[in-house]
Amino acid sequence: MAAIPSQQILDSLNWRYATKVFDPAKKISSADWNALEESLILTPSSFGLQPWEFVLVENPSIREQLVKFSWNQRQVADASHLLVIAIRTDIDAKWVDHFVSRVEEIRGDQGAFTGYRDMMAGFVSNLDEDGVKQWAKLQTYIALGQFMTCAALMEIDACPMEGFVADQYDEILGFKDKNLTTAVLCPAGYRSDEDKYAHLPKVRFPKDQMISRI
Ligand SMILES: Cc1cc2nc3c(=O)[nH]c(=O)nc-3n(C[C@H](O)[C@H](O)[C@H](O)COP(=O)(O)O)c2cc1C
């Protein structure tokens, strides 16, 4: 597997921006979308517990309904795809056992794994409901970052979004019955020629202020 040249990665990261206006006519191909789904599945998580579900909202009328609960940001309706990253609200010792079964299925019986199972179960059991949510939400941002970077490398635009009303999303998407709650959104697709943000220079603090050496 050939390494991607570092300059090519930097070019992609400079090319990407939080897209404000998507071209509704331009759709991501199914092969490219499939690669982006794989990037979500391959996201690392604490203990490997994957406390999330990646939800694709495909129904156009539901996407239109979500606009007003997204601070009227039209990206949720206009982008080719709308990814909602949800966290599970039922992460407990049972979920740990579910994960352990999957490890055994893939890697074979792991007798020595019992101590690790107990450690993970102890960790999640020691968190209260808010603690579990906070921990799970931190994990979702790893998925968000991986998804956006992979999209940029494929010249697919995306917009990370926290500007939405989580309760309304949960209600509309039927999450309450599925032990899910909305963490963060990422519409993806192709920028519109009319998006003036596409041409603005990046605003970042100088590197020597942001990276220090001790
Ligand atoms: C977690 C997160 C939430 C964000 N929420 C929104 C949002 O709701 N709407 C939006 O237009 N941009 C949103 N942004 C985009 C940021 O404003 C943007 O990433 C930042 O200004 C840097 O610009 P750039 O991504 O274009 O380089 C969000 C970014 C992140 C990382």
Smallest CA separation from ligand 1 atom 17, residue: 18
As a CATH number, domain 18-92+128-205 is: 3.40.109.10
Radius of gyration of the chain (CA): 19
Give pLDDT, residue 116.
87
Residue type, position 36, single letter: L
| Rounded Cα gap, residues 190 and 92, in angstroms | 39
Ordered by start, the domain boundaries in the chain are 18-92+128-205
Q: What is the pLDDT of residue 53?
A: 98
Give ∠ CA 197-203-208 in degrees, rounded to 5.
160
Helix ranges restricted to H, the chain: 6-15, 30-41, 60-67, 75-78, 93-107, 114-125, 129-153, 166-172, 207-210
- The confidence score (pLDDT) of residue 136 equals 97
Backbone angles phi, psi at 102, to 5 degrees: -70, -40
For ligand 1, residues with CB inside 6 Å are: 17-18, 20, 73, 159-163, 184, 202
Q: How far is the CA of 106 from the centre of ligand 1 (A)?
A: 37
Nearest by Cα to 59 from 154, 162, 174: 174
Block means of pLDDT (10 residues each) for the chain, 214 residues, are: 96 98 98 98 97 98 98 98 97 95 87 84 93 96 98 98 98 96 98 97 98 98
pTM of the model: 0.97
What are the C-alpha distances in Å from 5 to residues 17, 24, 35, 153? 21, 32, 20, 12
Task: Report how far ligand 1's centroid is from the alpha carbon of 99 (Å).
Answer: 33
pLDDT value for 110: 67
Q: Given ligand 1 and candidates 162, 200, 203, which is best to mutate, with the most ligand atoms within 8 Å of its CB? A: 162
